[in-house]
Structure 1
Amino acid sequence: MARQMEQKQGDELVDPIAQAPGFDDTESIIGFWGHPLHAMSVAFPVALTFCCFGADLLYWWSGEVFWARAAVWAAGTAFLFGLAAGATGTMELLMVPGIRIRSAAWTHFVIAVLLLSLLGANWGYRLQGYEAAILPYGILLSGFNVLVVMVTGWHGGKLVFDYRLGTSKGS
């Protein structure tokens, strides 16, 4: 049966996923005036994740309470904006057939859910005492969040730039 799926048409193999109905339907449907919301909203949690780690490093270096307070705000805002970005990305994943059928989109989804869990844990850990939470676990968690956001962002960028998923084709 597997051989039947790999039958040759001329000199090329047939990809059963590419033959599925809706495979080429990858245009974003969650947006304003042709601008995809997920692509616009991911910049905020990404930037705030880096800001949280930067504020942790500055607190470690200076001992200034301002940086501990800035880190808790950055962690919380990154989590909340991440929830919004995740909601728009999940709607795209589930509603657009050409996105839903690709395993790379599901991989990005799973890594992004992991990131949201880590961002929530980072924020929740700091709420009990933002100054005491930074050393050593807060800064380690923020550093790990930066690594996971880089992997998630790279993977999401690859989906957009290489596969043209979740973009607007224009009129």
Structure 2
Amino acid sequence: MNHPSGNPRSTASLFGHPLHPMLVPFPIVGFVGALITDLAYLNSANVQWSNFSIWLITGGLVMGGFAALTGIIDYAGDKRVRAARPATAHMIINISVFVIEIVNAFVHSRDGWTAVVPTGLTLSAIAVALLAVSAWLGGSLVYKHRVGVRS
């Protein structure tokens, strides 16, 4: 555990290892994968790509829920985390991506072409663009503000 005068600590940790950065790759891969399979569907009209998309979105949402929970615990657990300038924006963007992907799951659950084109594909692209910004902010929290890094 970090000394109070050290770096901001990750409250949600296991044996001193922060959980949030261990979980975030799963929803990122799911949501980026869904965008890729949406593009494959757009180019082929093969319905299996649409099926892959909804499964990737669903898996991303499940794992994203766990990542969000650990991120909120970290945010609430140490006021120095909240004081880090990118922390609030990082959280708001991630919550926005989660909500967009919930809507996207309902859009992708429709039948046929309209399950993906144009709304599902657009939502997937917006979510991935927001994830890129959020990843930049998350990296800043770790590498610049030293959140969860041992002193």
Does TM, normalized by the shorter one, top 0.5? yes
Q: 1:18 corresponds to which residue?
A: none
Q: 2:81 corresponds to which residue?
A: 99
Alpha-carbon deviation of 1:142?
0.7
Measure, in 2, the Cα distance between the counterparts of 1:104 and 1:59. Answer: 36
Distance 1:124 1:142, change over 3 A: same
- Whether 1:28 and 2:10 are equivalent positions in the alignment is yes
Within the candidate set 96, 101, 110, 1:119 is matched to 101
- Whether 1:81 and 2:63 are equivalent positions in the alignment is yes
Q: 1:137 corresponds to which residue?
A: 119
Query: What percent of counterpart residues are identical?
Result: 27
The answer (yes or no) to whether the contact 2:8–2:148 under 8 Å persists in 1 is yes
* Greater fraction of residues in helix: 2
Greater relative contact order (CA < 8 Å, ≥ 6 in sequence): 2
TM-score (norm 2): 0.90
Instruction: Tell me which stretches of 4 or more aligned residues in structure 1 moved more than 3 Å.
Output: 22-25
Alpha-carbon deviation of 1:24?
4.4
Measure, in 2, the Cα distance between the counterparts of 1:130 and 1:46. Answer: 26
Structure 2 gaps, min length 5: none
- Whether 1:66 and 2:79 are equivalent positions in the alignment is no
Q: Report how many residues are paired.
A: 148
Counterpart residue identity of residue 122, structure 1: N
- Whether 1:52 and 2:34 are equivalent positions in the alignment is yes
TM-score (norm 1): 0.80
Alpha-carbon deviation of 1:130?
6.3
